[in-house]
Amino acid sequence: MENLIYIALFAPLVSSLFAGVFAMSPRATFVGVISSILLLVSFFASAQLAYFVYSTNAVIHTTMMPWIMAGDFFVEFGFVVDHISVTMMTVVTLVSTVVHIYSIGYMDHDKSFNRFFSYLSAFVFSMMVLVMSDNFLGLFIGWEGVGVCSWLLIGFWYHKPDVSRDENPSISPSWAANEAFIMNRVADLGMLIGIFILYWSVGSLKYDVVFATLPHLSETVLTTAALALFIGAMGKSAQFPLHTWLTDAMEGPTPVSALIHAATMVTAGVFLVIRANPLFAMTPEVSFFIAGLGTFVAFFAASMALVNRDLKRIIAFSTLSQLGYMFAAAGLGAYWIALFHLAAHAFFKALLFLGAGNVMHAMHDELDIFKMGGLKKYMRWTYIYMGVASLALAGIPVFAGFFSKDAIIETAFNEEAYVLWGMLVVTAGMTAFYSFRQVFLTFAGVPRYDTHHLHPHDMYRYVLIAMSPLALLAVFAGFFKEEFEAFVTHLLPSYHMSEHTHHLVGLLTVIVLGFAIGGIYLAYKKYYNGLKRDEKCENSFIYKLLVNQYYIPHFYEEFIAKPYTMISQKLWQEVDMKIVDAIVDAIAYFFYNSGDVTRRMQTGNLSHYLNWMAAGTAVLLLAAVLFA
């Protein structure tokens, strides 16, 4: 089993190094093929480990080598394969394999094809380190690794110029990459503080030791550590107010969005809360704050998706919203339900992003859904895939999202958090509306694009075949809910609905379905037969508020970015130039002038040298007499 652990972990690293060797070489298809095969090997190893853990309920611990030994501080390169980590390993490697194969076709004409695969595989390796580590420091190394790789991938097309947008007047891949990196570094400071608090209080960073010691810690320490760790989770999972980077990150290549912003990095914050569930279970105030914030973000992000015209950004807002659902479940104590929705969401959301990539490929990188329409005639398989993924996202029965999202909404009702329940139900209706708004405006109606110069077509056959596992899982993954619960609750706490909730479960399901079906019907009536612009609506205050993301990006620009830039320039001019540089220049000037003066001693005249030697000897003798 230990060999399988190392194969699952290091196959993506080998893939990254292999592609990196050819990074500066001309595009070579075999680089993408070999990288994809290595990711497939990692998936098979993860699947075998998952079967072993499922059949034996064993937890595998392995230590590769000592890492840090400094006084009493000792950390090993240790990994754990248990019910939580193996679930994440399987989901990450499966989606990553599909994305790698998809990227062979999507990045087909990109001159930096080889470099892209190196970055993509390095990201997967970092994510595997994050989910497999048996201690908080190893998790943090993977946490920072995915941060660096996401910066490389979001800014992959760094040569592209800034593009003017309504909600953000100046954005480019480089700008978006920097925004994501900096915003996550701000949050990661909180996570580091949480890790320091735990080590200071416990004396170890291993999960088993930390969780076993928690009952002996004070309430203040537990609450502070939980809050600090959640701040890190807020940044990585783009929770308000650290959310703006995720939608701006759509400037990167679409396969990056399918991997990072659907199944891996953005779910790392949820994974952290699930992994550290013993800590959060002992801090109910922090947990309820997590649930409240998650519910708010679910509603908040869905409202912005209602009016957005950018195909990828709509899906990104949807990711934000679904992450809110996951945090709501985890905050209410239903950790296994949060993990179930994480896995189900990974499949249908990755499928949606890859479908959007197909549309971009066919439309010459056009993303405005108001400039599409009628594509189902030319892109039948993409239409089916995105329709299936949208049905799963909307929570329609038999599709995966129905089983996972409905369980989260029931959890809110069961906890008597009726305000949260109401917001989640309304959000379900909004989700259904914006999901099918984008599907109908993209594929139904009459073409709204230049039919003389654009000739849409579906992606390569092997790309469509590679997407099929995600489509199948988006349909059938929900049927394994009971098996999944039995599997992960060997490690995670069980969550049981009350008798009262059980009696009302049918009514609750009907209410949620009513909102979801109502949202789809409204989208159908409004958009299926084509785009009908409503100028009165588009000029309203609420519409402009949503289009401009509640003016939060403008607020950050005006009250954080610009003042920071102004202060930095002032400090540069007044402190750096007039004080720091002046002192350095003065020192240099002093030594230069002293050298200029003393070089006159070098006359080449022997008698002058003897005179200087005599003078120096006299000075030394005088010093010896004075300080003897």
Q: Report d(CA 324, CA 321) in Å as an integer.
A: 5
- Residue-wise pLDDT tens digits, 562-603: 999 999 999 999 898 989 999 999 999 998 888 877 777 777
Mean pLDDT, to the nearest integer, of 483-494?
Answer: 94
pLDDT confidence of residue 628: 66
- Residue-wise pLDDT tens digits, 223-274: 999 999 999 999 999 999 999 999 999 988 999 999 988 778 999 999 999 9
pLDDT confidence of residue 196: 95
CA angle centred on 572, ends 567 and 573, rounded to 5°: 100
pLDDT confidence of residue 387: 95
Residue keyed to tokens 């059949």: 55
List the one residue out of 290, 351, 292 whose CA is nearest residue 319. Answer: 351
Asked if pLDDT for residue 343 goes beyond 80, the answer is: yes
Cβ–Cβ under 8 Å, residues 102 and 156: no
Low-confidence winner among 15-29, 146-160, 610-624 (lowest mean pLDDT): 610-624
Bridge partner residues of 61 (DSSP): 80
Mean pLDDT, to the nearest integer, of 381-400?
Answer: 95
Averaged confidence pLDDT in the chain: 91
For residues 558-575, one letter each, b for 16 or more C-beta atoms within 10 angstroms of the residue's C-beta and e for the rest, the string is: eeeeeeeeeeeeeeeeee
pLDDT confidence of residue 453: 80
Q: Report d(CA 310, CA 297) in Å as an integer.
A: 20
Residue 410, CB half-sphere, CA atoms under 13 Å: how many?
Answer: 26
Straight-line distance from the first to the last Cα atom of the chain, in angstroms, rounded to the nearest whole number = 75
pLDDT confidence of residue 164: 53
- Residue-wise pLDDT tens digits, 215-235: 999 999 999 999 999 999 999
- Residue-wise pLDDT tens digits, 59-74: 999 998 888 888 788 8
Mean pLDDT, to the nearest integer, of 281-295?
Answer: 96
Asked if pLDDT for residue 163 goes beyond 90, the answer is: no
Report the run of H or E that residue 143 belongs to, with start and end. Answer: helix 136-154
Helix, coil or strand: residue 84: helix
Asked if pLDDT for residue 82 goes beyond 80, the answer is: yes
Asked if pLDDT for residue 500 goes beyond 80, the answer is: yes
What are the tokens at 418?
């009726």
pLDDT confidence of residue 74: 85
Report the run of H or E that residue 145 belongs to, with start and end. Answer: helix 136-154
**pLDDT tier at 365, thresholds 50, 70, 90:** confident
507 contacts: CB under 8 Å, gap ≥ 6? none
Q: Report d(CA 414, CA 398) in Å as an integer.
A: 23
Mean pLDDT, to the nearest integer, of 79-98?
Answer: 96
For residues 130-168, one letter each, b for 16 or more C-beta atoms within 10 angstroms of the residue's C-beta and e for the rest, the string is: bbbbbbbbbbbbbbbbbbebbbbbbbbbeeeeeeeeebb
**pLDDT tier at 81, thresholds 50, 70, 90:** very high
pLDDT confidence of residue 389: 96
Asked if pLDDT for residue 386 goes beyond 70, the answer is: yes
What are the tokens at 218?
């004070």
SS percent in the chain: helix, strand, coil, step 5: 75, 5, 20
Low-confidence winner among 10-14, 269-273, 498-502, 548-552 (lowest mean pLDDT): 498-502
pLDDT confidence of residue 30: 92
